[in-house]
Amino acid sequence: MASRQTLIEGIEAAIAGRWQEAHQIAQADEDDRDFCWLHACLHKIEGDEANSRYWYRRCGHAFEAYADPKAELAAMKAALTY
């Protein structure tokens, strides 16, 4: 199981545009809803809507909740660093 700090590092990598690094981290714990949320957002950024929607179903968030993936990443980070 990956740590919360690892997930935050993945979010920061995504915000910085390091998609590959962020994606590797998102895959580190595919049973954790927060990791799945990052995974979903990354596929939204990539433009892979079908894959993104799959991960949104796994994490319990809605694909349509955020039009801007950068705002979603910021919300994700805020939720984890409260």
- Cα separation, 53 vs 46, in Å, equals 12
Per-residue pLDDT tens over the stretch 1-33: 669 899 999 999 999 999 999 999 999 999 999
| Dihedral sign of CA atoms 31, 58, 12, 23 in order | positive
**Residues 25-79 pLDDT 10s:** 999 999 999 999 999 999 999 999 999 999 999 999 999 999 999 999 999 999 9
What is 22-58 written as a DSSP string? HHHHHGGGTTSHHHHHHHHHHHHHHT-HHHHHHHHHH
- pTM of the full predicted structure? 0.94
Residues in CB range of 23: below 8 A, 6 or more apart:
39, 42
Residue 78's nearest CA partner among 29, 1, 8 is 8
